[in-house]
Amino acid sequence: MRPLRLLILLALLGAGAFWWITRPNPLPADAVAGLTGDARKGEALFWAGGCASCHAARGATGAAQLKLGGGQELATQFGTFVVPNISPDKATGIGGWTLAAFANALTRGLNPAGQHLYPAFPYTSYSHMTLQDVADLKAYIDTLPPVVQADAPHRLMFPFGWRRLIGGWKWLFLRPGWVVPDPLTPEEQRGRYLAEALVHCGECHTPRNLFGAMDSGRWLAGAPNPSGPGHIPNITPAKLDWSADDIATYLTSGLTPAFDSAGGDMAHVIENLGHLTDADRAAIAAYVKKVPPAN
């Protein structure tokens, strides 16, 4: 036996396994073939998905929310992410992207160069969108004003600047299925689609593990506020005893059964939900009642 050769062999096997695990996994080449987007439908998806909350200027209101030039800074335990330009500008935004490239970003967390995107962009949620909805969303974003603004680099701690590592994160934490299992009624399923794929309630309401991944075993069980002091409430039936109607009213008007009004980031979420129909907000409320109780 030659111990040095054995070591080299093990190191090569380890490197090979790492390379295989962290490889990019794009959509099949013909996945979006034949899909045409409907911008009118895409508008509701845009608000439900909260794209402007990150990609427009911080605190933007009214028409300024449609200028998706990026530049907001998101501070995390891994460093600071600077949100990129996704306006239709050809040079500095995503105006030149094909539908396939856009769909790979939203559903696979990949950029057009085939590199992994950071999950600070909530594609762990968007990966559950139907490709027709992705096409509608792109059709809507294509109608928005182009903003000329070059992307600034993220400022991340070593070794998180290396995008290949995100492949390992995805391998551990990116799951294809729904968090809340069937059987659900068609209304609850609609609510699940909106809540888990688009409005990403979990990104705020679910606690995270050491690697920043949501703990699906404690789905919506409350978490520290990612953007400031305070705690985001537990909205599972273990803590929230509101009826489905109470929840739907809150998601529509921001009023709690005790006539308090929603504050913090939730006020902004409710504003976005105002672009959905009453039926869709009722569906989200019905879904919230079906989330497994967790403390």
The site for ligand HEC (CB under 6 A) is made up of 49-51, 53-55, 74, 81, 83-84, 86, 94, 102, 105, 111, 117-118, 120-122, 126, 137, 195, 199-201, 203-205, 232-233, 235, 240, 247, 250, 256, 262-266, 269, 284, 288
d(CA 184, CA 41): 25
d(CA 260, CA 233): 14
Least CB distance to ligand HEC at residue 195 (A): 5
Token digits of residue 70: 């990026």
Least CB distance to ligand HEC at residue 144 (A): 11
The residue (of 4 and 113) whose beta carbon lies closer to ligand HEC is 113
Least CB distance to ligand HEC at residue 266 (A): 3
259 contact partners, CB below 8 Å, separation of at least 6: none
Distance of CA 58 to CAs 73, 112, 283, Å?
A: 9, 26, 29
Short-list 253, 232, 234, 249, CA closest to 285: 249
CB atoms within 10 A of CB 148: 12
The residue (of 50 and 88) whose beta carbon lies closer to ligand HEC is 50
The residue (of 49 and 88) whose beta carbon lies closer to ligand HEC is 49
Least CB distance to ligand HEC at residue 269 (A): 4
With beta carbons less than 8 A apart as the criterion, state whether 288 and 233 touch: no
Least CB distance to ligand HEC at residue 159 (A): 15
The residue (of 53 and 189) whose beta carbon lies closer to ligand HEC is 53
